[in-house]
Amino acid sequence: MSDAPADRGKGRIMSKINKSEKVPNGLQEVFAAITSLSDDFCSRFLNDEYAGLIRSATAALCRMRPSPLVRGKANIWACGITHAIGAVNFLYDPTQKPFLDASVLYEAYGVKESTGQAKSRLVRDILDMSYFDPDWCLLGLLDQNPSAWLIKVDGFIVDARSMPREVQEIAYQKGLIPYIPDEAAENA
């Protein structure tokens, strides 16, 4: 098996995003201000998993040099980051659960639609997010996400779920797949 996973759009490699909530000391207050708003929003309209992804994205933006979060209002950043994570996970699609009309998001954060969308686009561009992005995908959507499971074996791109358990274990240990499919089924 190759050490590198299959390319995941735009030449990115899966699972290279640091999901830590660790932020530089100088940005602790900015992080707290944004995540306080997003945590409240998620407790009212979404769930803990969304809150965690939004906190991780906020921390990733805080760790950038220079951080884009040093300019602008906390509510606008919180709205943009929440919208970006929601877009990646099809939050605005009524066939998905959870579903949320984007107008609720803008109203809750007190942000105009055009401002929220522009900040969301900026966040997605900075963090190189795309629809069904394995790095920012809700766990419940990973099973449906083919790009989360593609690995390169002997020069061929394959779906790790169709490979023998030994190959899945190696892929998991190398951080190429989110979990070992059989173990998830056993623990369900």
Task: Report DSSP letters for 24-87, one per residue.
Answer: -GGGHHHHHHHHHHHHHHHHHHS-HHHHHHHHHHHHHHHHSSS-GGGSS-HHHHHHHHHHHHHH
- What's residue 154's pLDDT? 81
Other CB atoms within 10 Å distance of the CB of residue 71: 8
Question: What are the tokens at 42?
Answer: 């998620």
What is the C-alpha separation between 155 and 143, in angstroms, rounded? 24
- One-letter identity of residue 112: K
- What's residue 4's pLDDT? 40
Question: What are the tokens at 23?
Answer: 């932020």
* Pairing status of strand 150-153 against strand 156-159: antiparallel
- What's residue 9's pLDDT? 34
67 CA to centre of own chain: 18
- One-letter identity of residue 171: A
What is the C-alpha separation between 32 and 159, in angstroms, rounded? 39
- What's residue 103's pLDDT? 96
One pLDDT digit (tens) per residue for the chain, 188 residues: 544 433 333 333 334 445 778 899 999 999 999 999 999 999 999 999 999 999 999 999 999 999 999 999 999 999 999 999 999 999 999 998 899 999 999 999 999 999 999 999 999 999 999 887 778 988 777 777 777 778 888 888 888 888 889 888 888 888 787 788 876 555 55
Please calculate the CA angle 14-20-26 and round it to the nearest 5 degrees. Answer: 130
- What's residue 140's pLDDT? 76
